[in-house]
Structure 1
């Protein structure tokens, strides 16, 4: 198992690559569907998953999770894909950012989208709505969750950008990074061949 320093270095390295490259090298299987960025994107989000499962439209356990946030955590919320009530907004994202979180991934709705869109703190969700959440529970923290059809375990590496969100275990992340770098080099050569008018074959994606 990689130690904390190695994991931190891996996370930093993955920030340099887009989610399509990462997804391609995960057999194109993991990846959240239906989530989009609500922030002003300026580079990739990358961190380790602090997972939350909550009932539809209820954010009590997200508040509890904010008390557990460590620098570099991505708060990944399984809100059942429910879009009828917002689970987080400007206040909760501000709290998360102040505690060093790397971002929010919410399988549900947010609000205060105008404020979120002016900032660069990463926030991915399904939609925005003005209606506020319940705060009754139940829920769970640091359990396996499903967001946008993607299974995320506590501690997984989570990367997000303009194209979406992908998550994968720390185990095997170094090998994944090497494969991603190799594909980036191949694609750079293809783009060069196009610019030099010597591209001759289709590149399977």
Structure 2
């Protein structure tokens, strides 16, 4: 049984529609960042811990003491399938907030992935099971599990504010955060950026062939 606090978090977390998430998931993070005037782009040190990892989904936020993953375990009790668990871990690189075991549990729960302003471990194993994890560092050192932590609150993630339900997009360039209430307009603008860049690339290729 969850506590009243956790029940309240679940009830108050408003998520955007899957249609707009799907549109944003098809776009490069760079195009989305351009469409938002280069705002909403997380610190470039936070990257995928295995090649090809991609994130797309609404944020379930966790604010935790550096090096401690009690809050992540609590979040897994509440996050819904398709959520991205976004963790403000103080940028700590000394202890991994999660590894393969949490990754396996998250897959079984349908979690879309993790974005950590902190460290992770078991990078190769997480890649093998296909659990997307973006983190500031990789270390074999395990976490503490004592707390404290806060769930479902506004957090700072890689220098960007994140509210519960904001859309997280991550690819090989890094992570962008789209405010939930701006999701549809950002998708429109980012699709326009993508189409413009696609047309310019085609024009360059056509001109190259003409000159050959």
Does the pair score TM above 0.5? Answer: yes
Q: State whether residues 39 and 120 of structure 1, in contact with CA within 8 Å, keep that contact through their aligned partners in structure 2.
A: no
Per the alignment, residue 203 of structure 1 pairs with none
State how far apart, in whole Å, the 2-side matches of 1:102 and 1:117 are: 14
TM value normalised by structure 2 = 0.87
Please give the per-residue CA displacement for 1:105-146, whole angstroms capped at 9, x wherever unaligned: 001111112212323221000111111111111110001111
State how far apart, in whole Å, the 1-side matches of 2:140 and 2:194 are: 41
Task: Please give the residue correspondences for 1:133-172 in structure 2 after superposition, counting only pairs within 5 Å.
Answer: 133-172=143-182
Q: State whether residues 50 and 124 of structure 2, in contact with CA within 8 Å, keep that contact through their aligned partners in structure 1.
A: no
Per the alignment, residue 27 of structure 2 pairs with 17
Per the alignment, residue 129 of structure 1 pairs with 139
Q: Which is helix-richer, 1 or 2?
A: 2
| 1:55 paired to 2:55 | no
Residue ranges of structure 2 left out of the alignment (5+ in a row): 1-13
State how far apart, in whole Å, the 2-side matches of 1:62 and 1:132 are: 14
Runs of 4+ in 1 over 2 A off after TM superposition: 117-120
Task: Please give the residue correspondences for 1:45-124 in structure 2 after superposition, counting only pairs within 5 Å.
Answer: 45-124=55-134
Residue ranges of structure 1 left out of the alignment (5+ in a row): 199-205
Instruction: Tell me the C-alpha RMSD between the 2 structures.
Output: 1.6
Count of matched residue pairs:
194
Per the alignment, residue 4 of structure 2 pairs with none
**Which range is displaced more, 114-123 or 27-36?**
114-123
Q: State whether residues 58 and 82 of structure 2, in contact with CA within 8 Å, keep that contact through their aligned partners in structure 1.
A: yes
